[in-house]
Amino acid sequence: MMYTSKLPSKWKGTCQEGQEFNSSLCNSKLIGARYFNKVNSARDTQGHGTHTSSTAAGNYVEGASYFGYADGVARGMAHRARVAMYKVIWDEGRYASDVLAGMDQAVADGGSLVLASWIPNDYTAAVGTSTLLSSEGFNLISGTSMACPHASGVAALLRGAHPEWSHAAIRSAMMTTATELDVGRNFTAASPLAMGAGHIVPNLAMDPGLVYDVTPQDYVSLLCSMNFTRNQIMTITRSNMYDCANSSSLDLNYPSFVAFYDKNVTTGAMLTHRFRRVVTNVGDGRTRYEVKVTAPMGTKVAVWPQSLVFGKKNERRDYYVDITYASDGEGMVSHGSIVWVEESGKYNVRSPIVVAPTSGGK
């Protein structure tokens, strides 16, 4: 994959020189590099940042294999994406202030997406996505930090296909079109607490039918409900445009449902948790959806209305969910789902449901 020398017009970053790292090492693929420390450079020392960024946005590499197995062409998820690296942790340790400074600078530089992945004692952050794979250094690794660049790469692809979508809409599309997995350790079924929404299906995420969008004020309302002060909220938002005067809610418009209970409450006591959600039609213009519910074991789930009718694209509809369940002295976790099925069967918009004890339960 070849790139022109012209960089994106919105890019305001730089290639910062440092120990064993000259500015000439940046190019039309690796367009920026910064580090947040008094010494050293943006150069990777353990390979973890290079690995994750290559997974997210590495170019085509011929002849890649794992010790001779699976010989072929390797590439990152969003191989056309450009990359800027921000090194925020060192062999000696890390400071949270460096991590936050790196993320702030990445946004200020004009990065579209921020990938932050880590291993014990090592943080690595990249904007957009990452560098070239090396056929000599190809490796197979599993874990959270390996899953993160795959998801980030898919998000970069969706950002390119739908530049009008918010980050929340992209997240929603990836979650509601994921396939439900039934795997886990010791041959036990994995719950959403272990697998999240499931396995990402990029082609389905490109056209999800409905999305759960979230505005900046929605996030502020969440902070308000968590008793953040006005000064704390301004520190986070860097703006005085938002406040707690209009709303305060723990019920973020997220594409999943978690109902907590205190397992110290008298066993058998019935509890009800109500949720409100708003979905936006990003699929076909005029359409209708019907709800399909799989209630978690020991619960009753009521959804109303049970049908959502859209007259045009980008129209919004809200619905409510009541989850009724009994307090369980054993602290059991149960799970199910809500699926909005489009009348032609083209779209199945799935949201996981989890009923679980609070972390403070004894």
Domain boundary among 137, 161, 185: 161
Residue 327 has pLDDT above 80, yes or no: no
Using CA atoms, how far apart are residues 166 and 360, in angstroms rounded to an integer? 34
Using CA atoms, how far apart are residues 272 and 260, in angstroms rounded to an integer? 10
Q: Which is higher by pLDDT, 183 or 36?
A: 36
Alpha helices in the chain (DSSP H): 48-57, 96-108, 144-161, 167-176, 192-195, 202-205, 216-225, 230-237
Residue 14 has pLDDT above 60, yes or no: yes
pLDDT at 126: 39
- Give tens-digit pLDDT for 190-226: 778 778 898 899 999 999 999 999 998 899 999 999 9
Task: Calculate mean pLDDT across residues 262-288.
Answer: 85
Residue 289 has pLDDT above 90, yes or no: yes
Q: How confident is the model at residue 361 (pLDDT cuts 50, 70, 90)?
A: very low
In a domain, 288, yes or no: yes
Residue 309 has pLDDT above 60, yes or no: yes
283-287's contacts with Cβ under 8 Å and 24+ in sequence apart are 283/207, 283/208, 283/209, 283/210, 283/313, 283/342, 283/346, 283/347, 284/209, 284/313, 284/342, 284/346, 285/310, 285/311, 285/312, 285/313, 286/310, 286/311, 286/312, 287/342, 287/343, 287/344
Beta bridge partners of 63: none
pLDDT at 4: 59
pLDDT at 360: 53
Predicted model pTM: 0.83
pLDDT at 44: 85
pLDDT at 329: 67
Q: How confident is the model at residue 186 (pLDDT cuts 50, 70, 90)?
A: low
pLDDT at 45: 82
pLDDT at 100: 87
Together in a domain, 33 and 154: yes
Using CA atoms, how far apart are residues 111 and 167, in angstroms rounded to an integer? 13
In a domain, 76, yes or no: yes
In a domain, 234, yes or no: no
- Give tens-digit pLDDT for 24-56: 999 989 999 999 887 788 888 888 888 888 889
In a domain, 302, yes or no: yes
In a domain, 11, yes or no: no
Average pLDDT across the chain, whole number: 84
pLDDT at 128: 40
Together in a domain, 140 and 259: no
Using CA atoms, how far apart are residues 236 and 244, in angstroms rounded to an integer? 14
Q: How many structural domains comprise the chain?
A: 2
- Give tens-digit pLDDT for 235-254: 888 888 887 876 778 889 99
**Domain containing residue 147: CATH number:** 3.40.50.200
Residue 63 has pLDDT above 80, yes or no: yes
Task: Calculate mean pLDDT across residues 170-198.
Answer: 79
Cβ neighbors of 292 (< 8 A, separation 6 or more) are: 338, 339, 340, 341
**Domain containing residue 324: CATH number:** 2.60.40.2310
pLDDT at 142: 67
The residue among 104, 120, 99, 130 whose CA lies nearest residue 37 is: 99
In a domain, 362, yes or no: no
In percent, how much of the chain has pLDDT > 70? 85
Question: Please, are residues 32 and 84 in contact by the beta-carbon 8 Å criterion?
Answer: yes
pLDDT at 125: 37
In a domain, 202, yes or no: no
Domain boundary among 140, 161, 182: 161
Joined together, the tokens standing for residue 290 give 């019907």
In a domain, 63, yes or no: yes
Helix axes 144-161, 167-176, angle to 10 degrees: 110
Together in a domain, 150 and 258: no
Q: How far is CA 352 from the centre of its chain?
A: 15
pLDDT at 288: 96
Residue 81 has pLDDT above 80, yes or no: yes
Residue 242, amino acid: Y
Give the domain extent around 128. 23-161
pLDDT at 167: 93
Q: How confident is the model at residue 127 (pLDDT cuts 50, 70, 90)?
A: very low
Q: Which is higher by pLDDT, 5 or 160?
A: 160
Task: Calculate mean pLDDT across residues 99-123.
Answer: 75
Joined together, the tokens standing for residue 35 give 């580090």
Together in a domain, 139 and 264: no
Neighbours of 168 (CB within 10 A): 20
pLDDT at 34: 93
Domain boundary among 161, 184, 202: 161
Residue 68 has pLDDT above 50, yes or no: yes
Together in a domain, 257 and 147: no
DSSP state of 166: -
